[in-house]
Amino acid sequence: MQLSEQAPEQALAWVEAGKGAALATVIETWGSAPRRVGAQLVIAGDGAMEGSVSGGCVEGAVVLEALEILEQGGTKVLEYGVSDGDAFAVGLACGGTIRILVEPVGEGGMPLQLLRDLVDARKTRTPVAYEVALDGSSRTLVHDGHADQFRMDRSGVSEDGETFIAIHNPPLKLIVVGGVHIAQTLVEMALATGFDPIVVDPREAFGSPARFPQATVVNDWPDEALEAIGVDTRSAVVLLTHDPKLDDPALHIALRSDAFYIGALGSKRTHASRVERLGQAGFDDTQIARIAGPVGLDIGAAGPAEIAVSIMAQMIQTLRRP
């Protein structure tokens, strides 16, 4: 999820507890800014805070502004940069510049019901964009449009400079079919890059919590498992078993889904046989072409760990590039 992990949920919890809350969001950056656009800090009326907009450089000043806004109402855009005189006071010693939108929850800011709707969308893994006028005059949630921004997890100010579009995507999900050696390294990298990993293998000797302590392990047949897990636009599916009895049922589900990436391990000959079977099962050339097979970027990978690197690189390339 591109925006700070649980800022909307924390804001709602503080409001419902009677503390009040304001959200501070990085809306633009220049130079070596320490946080990307979309990073959020949520501030309670008692001064408590969660999240970050600069890694500690300007949080204190933002909290003071937020507390004032909670008292007086309104929406405010703040800007912080660096100069010789302010680098060690309120400024960014890294040399960057950031703009931050601060808005209270409630009167004069984000309506409480809109925040509840946003939290509900996030809970149900529904992609949603929050459009807010920088002068505070309008706010809305939209599910249509902004296709490239959704795909690339890219929040930002509109071309006319008047509206900030905050992309709230569900967490990325990696479903690995086959608890083989490659999967062990791939799961570790998935965690490091923000994916929720799920390992599916009916063979308990391969798909076991002992082998994958940081992943969800499902010991069902792959088609049943994928149906139960759900495969959506934020899902990658990687098939590593080499066994058509396991890979093919999972492929049938994945190819009918909106998964952003589908990869299958195997040689060119293995993939040719896979393509033939899928054609016989009724899938057309366009559907079958969605499969990255042989899986991974061609980096000359040798050994399970390097193959895992090539798969992760190809997944990210597919997700991020137009």
The pLDDT value given to residue 86: 43
Q: Judge contact between 13 and 40, C-beta under 8 A.
A: no
Which pair of tokens denotes residue 171? 């967490």
Residue 316 pLDDT greater than 90, yes or no:
yes
**Model confidence over 180-199: pLDDT tens digits?**
999 999 999 999 998 999 99
Domain ranges of the chain: 7-168, 172-320
Distance from CA of residue 191 to its chain's centroid? 12
- How would residue 322 be classed by pLDDT, with cut points 50, 70 and 90? low
- How would residue 139 be classed by pLDDT, with cut points 50, 70 and 90? very high
- How would residue 164 be classed by pLDDT, with cut points 50, 70 and 90? very high
Residue 151 φ/ψ, nearest 5 degrees = -65, -35
The total of other beta-carbon atoms located within 10 Å of residue 134's CB is: 18
**Model confidence over 1-59: pLDDT tens digits?**
444 478 999 999 999 999 999 999 999 988 766 678 999 999 999 999 999 888 767 88
153-179: average pLDDT: 94
**Model confidence over 255-293: pLDDT tens digits?**
999 999 999 999 999 999 999 999 999 999 999 999 999
CATH hierarchy code of domain 172-320: 3.40.50.720
Choose among 213, 210, 169, 191: nearest CA to 312.
191
The pLDDT value given to residue 85: 42
Choose among 116, 90, 102: nearest CA to 40.
102
Q: What is the mean pLDDT of the chain?
A: 90
